[in-house]
Structure formats: structure tokens, C-alpha cells
Amino acid sequence: MILGSTSVYRRELLSRLQIPFECHSPGVDETPQPGERAADLVVRLARLKAQAVAERHPDAWVIGSDQVALLTDASQHDRILGKPGTPAKCFEQLQACSGRTLAFITAVAVVNRRTAALVEFVDTTRVTYRQLDPATIERYVAREAPLDCAGGFKSEALGIALCESIESNDPTGLIGLPLIRLCAVLRDAGFDLP
């Protein structure tokens, strides 16, 4: 099994299953296409990541995943929040999230080229932020440095202090790899899981 990702968060999640796996960088351009909706973007990128790695390892089961945070404003316009990359961008993203509910959309694709298998699914987690003042955001960004996380938020660490509520069918989905559904897919593929 191969995880088509360089994400330390996804690697840590997948290691919980105690199945041997490798990690390989998919080398996929993650730029959204013009007018691409959030759910379409993450499904496309998860599939591309899995397929890119499967091209190099046709006998392996390859897992690709992608996540975005989706902020819908008062005018019902959607704004996709990816990885902020810089403290200033992270601050700006979190300021926009203050007092709002976001959908964290995570897509997973599991591919095996030899068997022509492709299984895809999407997990959505809703996070409601409490009102965040600038000093709170600055402290959080300085302490956590969540620059590589969609929406600049890490629920598994200090980011939980920014929340009012989290609604989820799978708490690992918010971290970037929904293990409950992934376990079902892997069992169907023949992996020995409880």
C-alpha cells in the first residue's frame, strides 16, 4: 500500500491502521481550475494524486487525498480556503472564519492499476468558529504555525480552542484522511483489518 502524499498528518493517521505502507509524493499541480467548485476540486486532486503514484507502482493500492475549507459568505458566495503558506495569509483566513461555520471537504481516491480499481468518497465536517479577535488569532498562528493546513486550522492540536462546535461523522476526516470509510474500502480490497 502507498499513500500518495507527503502530508505528515495523513501519514500519522494511516499508521494507526498498523498496515505497512510507503509514502510517495504525487507531484500534482493543485491549482483550481477556473470556476471549479470545492467538492469537484478535492475529488479531482485526490484522484490525480492516487493515479500519479499508481502510474509508477501499478501493483500497489494507492491512496490519494485532498482537503479544502469552504467558507460561504452572507451573499452565498463560496470561497475556497487552502493551505495559507504564510502567517499573514493564515491570519487573514482565520479572521474571515471568525464566528462563521465552514465545511471542511476531504476527498479520498483508492486506486490499483493492475485490477483497474478506483474507489472514491467525500467526507464533510462542519466547524463553527467562535468570535476571534486579532490578538487571539495572532497568538494561535504564532504558537501553532498551521501554515500547511486547509484554512489555517489544526483541530487535533491548539486549533480546537478556536471552535464553538464540530459536526462530523468521522473525526479523522477533519485532519485529512477519513479512516472510518477508508477502513471499509481497504477491507473490501483484502487488507486484514479488524
Write the DSSP symbol of residue 148. Answer: T
User: According to the model, what pLDDT value does residue 77 have?
Assistant: 80
In angstroms, the CA 96 to CA 15 distance is: 34
Neighbours of 68 (CB within 10 A): 25
So where are the chain's domains? 2-188
Beta strands in the chain (DSSP E): 2-3, 22-23, 62-72, 78-81, 101-112, 117-129, 163-167
66 included as an active-site residue? yes
Taking CA 143 as the corner, what is the angle to CA 137 and CA 147, rounded to the nearest 5 degrees?
75
pTM of the full predicted structure?
A: 0.92
In angstroms, the CA 91 to CA 86 distance is: 9
Q: 29, 40, 59, 66: which one is catalytic?
A: 66
pLDDT along the chain (194 residues), means of 10: 95 97 96 93 98 97 96 81 94 96 97 96 97 97 94 92 96 96 97 93
CATH tag for 2-188 (out of 3.40.50.300, 3.90.950.10, 3.30.470.30, 3.40.50.2020):
3.90.950.10
